[in-house]
Amino acid sequence: MAQILYITAHPHDDSQSYSMAAGKAFIDTYKQVNPNDEIIHLDLYKENIPQIDADVFSGWGKLRSGQAFDDLSLEEKDKVGRLNELSDQFVAADKYIFVTPLWNFSFPPIMKAYLDSVAVAGKTFKYTQEGPVGLLTGKKALHIQARGGFYSEGPAAELEMGHRYIKIIMSFFGIPSLEGLFVEGHNAVPEKAEEIKANAINRAKDLAHVF
């Protein structure tokens, strides 16, 4: 039985969002194909995702200097404890599905806060004399992203920084490849929007059979 983390960074559901619609098609089909897998939905707009702030730095500093977790202030305990939960949950999973819209060439900021919460030395990567090494080898990741323009090829391709960032950080964690499923061009060619969406939903269902 595999554990799947379905991580969505969107304030809307599938009725208003193309990326969430493709994500839902993927995860619903995945559930049917893999009924024994455990799927955990992390809705980042509803979850408590602490940012790395002064409380987190002071809490980490106290732990590094040998103080017990119980010695941390309430704020430090809340935030550092939650960050630990998130990174432990990430390490325990076997497969990751990220769902984000493309906003201003990247993903919503809550996704960055989440990725910061799981980028932890000793858990997702470690430092060696040869440089950092990822610890999540053998896991799989998929990123589903809707974007109004075209970024798969053409002049805008190099401007896209959301998928590229997730790819870099997955590789940093040792995950060899990040698959991408894109719903794109529906704002550029609005008369084809429904067709573009339907096509992406079909691709999402197909991918769920083999992911």
For binding to ligand FMN (CB under 6 A), which residues are involved?
10, 17-20, 101-105, 146-149, 187
- The string of DSSP codes covering 134-171 is ES-TT-EEEEEEEESS--SSSTTGGG--HHHHHHHHHH
* Closest residue to bound ligand FMN by CB: 101
Dist CA 86 CA 180 (whole Å)? 23
Record the tokens describing residue 21, joined without a space: 């619609």
CB 210, min distance to ligand FMN, A: 23
Closest to ligand FMN by CB, 4 or 102: 102
Closest to ligand FMN by CB, 70 or 158: 158
Per-residue burial over 89-112, b = 16 or more CB atoms within 10 Å of its CB, e = otherwise = ebeebebbbbbbbbeeebbbebbb
CB 154, min distance to ligand FMN, A: 12
CB 98, min distance to ligand FMN, A: 12
Closest to ligand FMN by CB, 115 or 196: 196
Tokens 């809705």 found at = 43
Closest to ligand FMN by CB, 13 or 71: 13
Dist CA 182 CA 62 (whole Å)? 43
CB 10, min distance to ligand FMN, A: 6
Record the tokens describing residue 28, joined without a space: 């619903």
Contact present, 36 and 1 (Cβ < 8 Å): yes
Closest to ligand FMN by CB, 84 or 187: 187
CB 28, min distance to ligand FMN, A: 17
